[in-house]
Structure 1
Amino acid sequence: MNAITATVPAELRDWSVDWPDYSPVDVTPPELRPAALAHGAPDWAEAAPTPADVHDWDRRRSSALVPYELDARGWPLHPQGRTGRTGRNLGRWGENAAGDPIVVAGTGRNRQVLLITRSDILVEAIPGGMVEPGEPVPMTLVRELREETGVDLSSHRPIILGREVVDDWRASDHAWVASTSALYLLPATVSAAGADDALAATWWPFGSLDQLATTVAAAGRSLYPAHRPLLQRALDHLTR
C-alpha cells in the first residue's frame, strides 16, 4: 500500500463507495489557509482558498495528464480515490503537473543514475519539479535538471516513459501531483552539483532498483518512494 492510500482501507478507496463517516485530515499548511491567502499567496501557489474559488475546471481537466472527475460541489477528486487527507499542500487545486528527468549514464554494470538529495524530506530522488504556467513539459524537464544539478541537457532528446499520478507526500483528496517521466541517456557521467531545492547531486549504480536502494541505504539515505515506479520503468526500458 502506498503513502497516498495508507490510511484508507482498499474497499473504501473508490469515490463511488459510500462512506458517511469519512473524516480526512486537513494537511493545509498555515501559508495556504484562507486567513493567510487573504493577504497574498506565496509565489509558488494560487490564491484560491478552496476549489470553489477556481473557475477554469473545464480547461484544467481538458489538459490534465491523468483524467479526473469533480464531485457534486465541483471540487476535483484524486484519480486514485480517497487519500485520508483533505485541504491543499501543493501550489494548485486538482492536478499539479510535474516533470521528472531520469538521467542515466553508461551501460550494463557501469550504468549509473543521477539523483538529488531533496532539501525538504532528505531523501534521494529524481531531479524534477512542477511545470510553470504556460511552460511546455520539455522545458520543465531541462529547467529543473539544470536548476537542481547544473547539468544542461537542452540539446538532448529524451524518451518519454509515462504520464501518471505519483505518490507525493503532499497529496490530498483535492490536490495531487501527476508527472511526465523522461529518460535521458548519456555515454558517461558528467559533473553535477546540488543547487536550488537539492542539497546534493550524486551518481548511483543503477543495475536494478534493489541495488540502487541498497547502495543509497548504505550511504545513510533512503530512496523517495514516489519515484520508485518511475525508476523501475526506466530500468524496464533499458533492459527489455
Structure 2
Amino acid sequence: MNETRSTTDVVALDPDGYAPVDHPGVTVPEDRRCWSASWPAYAPVDITPPELRAETLARHVPDWVADGCATPDLVRDWEQRQAVALVPFQLDGRGLPLNPQGRTGRTGRNLGKWGESAAADPIVVAGSGEQRRVLLITRDDIEQEAIPGGMCDPGETAPTTLSRELREETGVDLSDHQPVILGRDLVDDWRNTDRAWVASTSALYLLPTTVTAVGADDALDATWYPFGSLAQLEAAVSEAGRTLYAAHRPLLQRALDHLAK
C-alpha cells in the first residue's frame, strides 16, 4: 500500500530547518487528524521562533515565557498540568503532550508554555436592543478586532485574569462585577501546534451603558461596536476598515445566543 506522505507548502525554511511562525503547516487530511489514526510518515513543520529555541533559552528566558524548557520532554509536571487543564489532553507514548483537536501540521511552540496555555476572554456587552454594543480591541500582533483578553499568569485564576486583562487593555475595571461563564474551550489560535495550544475561559459582562475605553498594553485601540448579530458586528468592523479575528467569532456568537435566551 502506498503511504500518503505529508509535505510542506513551498516555503523557505531558515538554515536550521524552522518554518516561519505563521506557516500553515503540512496539510492534514480529515481522516488523519485524530491521533489514533496511523500516519508513520507524518512530518509537521517546526514553527518555533528564535527566542524560544534551545540556544537562546540557554542564555535568556523572556519574561512572557512560563516554560524555560526548550523541548516538551524536559517538562516534569505533566500530571499536574493535565489535572488543571481547561480542556483534557493526553500524552503520547514518549510522554509528550497531544493537542486535543488532533494533528495540526505544525510542531514546536510559539507560546509561553508547552501543552495548554490557559487564557481568559472577557466579552463586555453594554445596552440592549438597537443600542446594544460589544467592546473589542485592535490586537497589536495581528491588527485585527478581537475580544480583550490574554494568558493567565502563573498561579492566577480565570476570574482574576478576566478582570486584569480587561483593565490592562481597555482601562475598564469590572473587578467588582460577577460575569457569566460561557465556556472553557480550545481556541483556534494562529500559534497552535501539536505540542502547544491555547484554551480559554470566556465570560460575559453586562453593563447598562457603554463606558470609556482606551486601548493600552497589547491593544492598539478599544472600540464599542453594534452587537445585534454577528453579521451586524462584522459589517460594522468592515465599515471601520478592519477585520474581525476569526477565532473569536464562535465566542461572540455564544454570547449572542446567551443574550437571546
Shorter-chain TM-score above 0.5: yes
Counterpart for residue 142 of structure 1: 163
What is the one-letter code of the residue matched to 2:38?
D
Return the index of the structure with the highest Cα Rg. 2
| AA partner of residue 188 (structure 1) | T
Looking at structure 2, the residues matched to 119 and 151 of structure 1 have their Cα atoms a distance apart, in angstroms, of 18
Identity rate, percent: 68
Residue of structure 2 in register with 1:65 after alignment: 86
Report how many residues are paired: 238
Matched position secondary structure for 1:142: helix
Give CA deviations for 1:213-240 in whole Å, capped at 9, x if unaligned: 1111111111111111100000000012
The answer to whether the 8 A contact 2:43-2:105 is kept is yes
Distance 2:148 2:26 in 1: 25
Q: In structure 1, list runs of 5 or more residues that go unmatched.
A: none
Give the superposed CA RMSD.
Answer: 1.3
Q: Secondary structure at the match of 2:233?
A: helix
1:15-46 C-alpha deviation (Å, 9 max, x unpaired): 00011221111110000000101102111112
1:101 aligned onto 2:102 = no
1:15 aligned residue: 35
Q: What is the CA deviation profile of residues 51-70 of structure 1, one whole-angstrom value per residue up to 9, with x for unaligned ones?
A: 11100000000000000000
Deviation for aligned residue 1:181: 0.1
Matched residues in 1 for 2:212 and 2:197: separation? 33
Find the counterpart in structure 2 of residue 39 from structure 1: 59
SS at match of 1:152: coil
For residue 56 of structure 1, what is the aligned residue in structure 2? 77
* Greater RCO, CA 8 A, separation 6+: 1
Q: Distance in 2 between matches of 1:136 and 1:22?
A: 37
Matches within 5 A, 1:88-237: 88-237=109-258
Q: Contact (CA 8 Å) 1:128, 1:145: kept in 2 or not?
A: yes
Q: Please list the CA deviations of residues 67-88 of structure 1 after superposition, one character each: whole Å capped at 9, or x if unmatched.
A: 0000111110000000011000
User: Taking structure 2 as the reference length, what is the TM-score of the superposition?
Assistant: 0.89
User: Counterpart of 1:43 in 2: which secondary structure?
Assistant: coil
Query: Using the alignment, how far apart are the partners of 1:204 and 1:114 within structure 2?
Result: 6
Aligned mates of 1:115, 1:6 — CA distance in 2 = 32
The offset of 1:10, in angstroms, is 1.0
Contact 2:26 2:45 in 1 (8 A): no
**In the alignment, residue 190 of structure 1 is paired with which amino acid?**
V
User: 1:214 is paired with a residue of what secondary structure?
Assistant: helix
Q: How far does the alpha carbon of each residue in 1:140-167 deviate from its partner, in whole angstroms, 9 at most, with x for none?
A: 0000000000000011000000000000
Deviations 1:107-156 (A, max 9, x none): 11111000000000000000000000111110100000000000000110
Query: For the structure 1 residues 53 and 157, does the alpha-carbon distance in structure 2 shift closer, same or farther, using more than 3 Å as the test?
Result: same
Separation in structure 2 between the aligned mates of residue 144 and residue 7 of structure 1, nearest angstrom? 35
Q: Which amino acid aligns with 2:57?
A: L
TM-score (norm 1): 0.97
Aligned partners of 2:25 and 2:106 also within 8 Å: no
Query: Mean Cα displacement is larger for which, 20-29 or 98-107?
Result: 20-29
Structure 1 residue 4, shift from structure 2 partner: 8.0
Letter in 1 for 2:148: P
Give the drift of 1:7. 3.1
